[in-house]
Structure 1
Amino acid sequence: MTTHDTNEPATPPVPIINIHNSVDANAHIWRVLATFLVIIGFVVIAWGLGQWGMLELAATGTAAVISMLLQLLLRNGFIVLPDSKSDDARIEEGKNALRSIVAMFQAMLDRSSLLRLVLIAVGYGIGFILVRAAISVVLGAFIGNIFFAIGFGAIIAAFICFPTLLAGTMRALKSRRS
């Protein structure tokens, strides 16, 4: 037993606090893995359709998936301009200009006539066809090599899973001029 000096105040006992989260700590890694598997699986299915002579069907389906995925990523805030301030005033001006263009385009859409909406839809359709044509060319390259298809799918999945990958890579490549 220890004795305390009467001049020293007794320290109160420190409570032991255990925090238990009901969320699985490894849930993020499983979401990342699932995204990789879905994207790579989709690319392999597109490759298989190309092998069976259905390259046009694979290109159309892939263009539709990319189009919808981009819309969902934009709508749900996965693709946004960074909030961090830059030391370079030109970068800040560029970000402000992009925000202004997006706001202006949204305001234009909000008060558009039927003719303008139809023309925007036609432009979207033309863009979709161009994306589909580009995908058809890329899928044509996949036909000869499944590993190329899997690698391309893994790159796409990496950019989806790691939204900061591109920004981090660009920051790492950025050089300072003296």
Structure 2
Amino acid sequence: MSPKTATLPPTEGAMWRKLLAKVHPDSAGDHELFIWAMNVRDVVCHGGHAAATATTPPPRQQEHRTTPDAVPFDRYADFDELTRRAVALADEVPAVFGVVLRLLSDCRIAYTGSEEKQQRKGATYKQLAAIGHAVGMSKQERTQWYRIAEQIPLSVRHAGHILGKLRGGD
């Protein structure tokens, strides 16, 4: 019989923080692994309620991703509905995120050109990080921000609109 190595329980918060820090996209981790680890943590630490607490309905079609560095996104999603969802969520999330989401209140659908194409792709984590840094989010807040952006989900166009507002544009 081999000796057993003493380990902390699987619900230990400090160990989850270490694991998530290692796999987080901000620290050169893998996005899919980060999302998977967050879901496993929710199941282990919260009694398997991760799937039951999701507020986003399942997509009509399989999610399409243009790059692993972007929010998973259904390219057939209704842009106006996603925008309304984001603005409505602003009242339910902490203020640092609500302020950012409210910047989408005047983001209108585009029917042609590059803006229309941007509505069909998930926001990149680089865009989301730039938004987080622009409003002074901590690393932990940026992690929450990524989760919120995935929950909605935000498009490249949404993120570009927010960045334009933060940089003093329209």
Answer yes or no: same fold by TM over 0.5.
Answer: no
The structure carrying a bigger helix percent of its residues is: 1
Rg (Cα) greater in structure: 1
